[in-house]
Structure 1
Amino acid sequence: MMTKPTESELEILSILWEMKEASVRQVHEKLALSKETGYTTTLKIMQIMHAKGLVSRDESSRSHIYSPATNKKETQSSLLKNLMNTAFGGSAQHLVMQALGQEKPSKEELDEIRAFLDQLEEKKS
């Protein structure tokens, strides 16, 4: 079972998944575009993430380079499974209905969802 990242750790993981690898400064600069946070806070969170095994750290250069130690798809799947079990009593239907009810999906999104449902139907028959 993977360690469940906190909201702040997930923000950092998202940046690392996008960048593949980055220094604390690079991650902090990206974070600072969307939220107010101090460099030392970013550094501390990334050190904790390294201790938890969420990121790996290359210490061969002066500024340490971090990369995600966890796969985006596996992390999303694990978090979704946890959310579905704890908040929706294990019901995928309730989770999906709640998610679709929160925001009005675009026609394109609805078309993609229909195509995905069609694929699921084909796999069952």
Structure 2
Amino acid sequence: MGISSDLKPTESELEILQILWEKGNCTVRDVHEILEKSKDSGYTTTLKLMQIMHEKGLVARDTSSKTHIYTALLNQQKTEQHLVNKMIDNVFNGSTARLVMQALGNHNASKDEIDSIKKYLDELSK
């Protein structure tokens, strides 16, 4: 599923999507307990966000049991690609190189990450 122009997850929605992508099917409580580790967020806030995400078509909700189970409807790779392309266009004036240099300049990449990047670049230049 591609991202249509009306499916633009907010930062908070992306945090929830990342949990669903990593963990798979989750209850609101599952998601809330993970979110709570990194930010001060109330259970009802998480519940409301996930209900809004369901209305927007970002997540599916299985209501067959007492505890509702949520699943991400957006594909992780396509969503990431869409957001990166948007960032390249809007922030880096269409320059992929500027994005990469900014990312590598601001974060300490491990030797393994740098080796993976070199390998990827070698593959691209073939």
Q: Does 1:10 align with 2:11?
A: no
How far the C-alpha of 1:104 sits from its partner, in A, is 2.5
TM-score (norm 2): 0.93
3-state secondary structure, aligned to 1:56: strand
3-state secondary structure, aligned to 1:97: helix
Q: Deviations over 1:88-116 (max 9, x none)?
A: 11111111111111123222211111100
For 1:16 and 1:106, the matched residues in 2 are separated by: 27
For 1:22 and 1:15, the matched residues in 2 are separated by: 9
The equivalent residue for 1:78 is 82
User: 103-112 or 33-42, which moves further after superposition?
Assistant: 103-112
TM-score (norm 1): 0.93
Give the number of equivalent residue pairs. Answer: 122
The equivalent residue for 1:22 is 26
1:52-71 mapped onto 2 (5 Å cutoff):
52-71=56-75
Note the residue ranges of structure 2 that are not aligned, 5 or more in a row: none
For 2:108 and 2:62, the matched residues in 1 are separated by: 43
Q: Read off the aligned partner of 1:110 and give its amino acid letter.
A: I
3-state secondary structure, aligned to 1:51: helix
3-state secondary structure, aligned to 1:118: helix
The equivalent residue for 1:91 is 95
Q: Read off the aligned partner of 2:11 and give its amino acid letter.
A: E
3-state secondary structure, aligned to 2:74: coil
The equivalent residue for 2:51 is 47
User: 1-10 or 93-102, which moves further after superposition?
Assistant: 1-10
Stretches of 4+ moved more than 6 A in 1? none
For 1:105 and 1:60, the matched residues in 2 are separated by: 45
Q: Read off the aligned partner of 1:12 and give its amino acid letter.
A: I
Note the residue ranges of structure 1 that are not aligned, 5 or more in a row: none
Q: Read off the aligned partner of 2:43 and give its amino acid letter.
A: Y
For 1:107 and 1:25, the matched residues in 2 are separated by: 37
For 1:117 and 1:69, the matched residues in 2 are separated by: 31
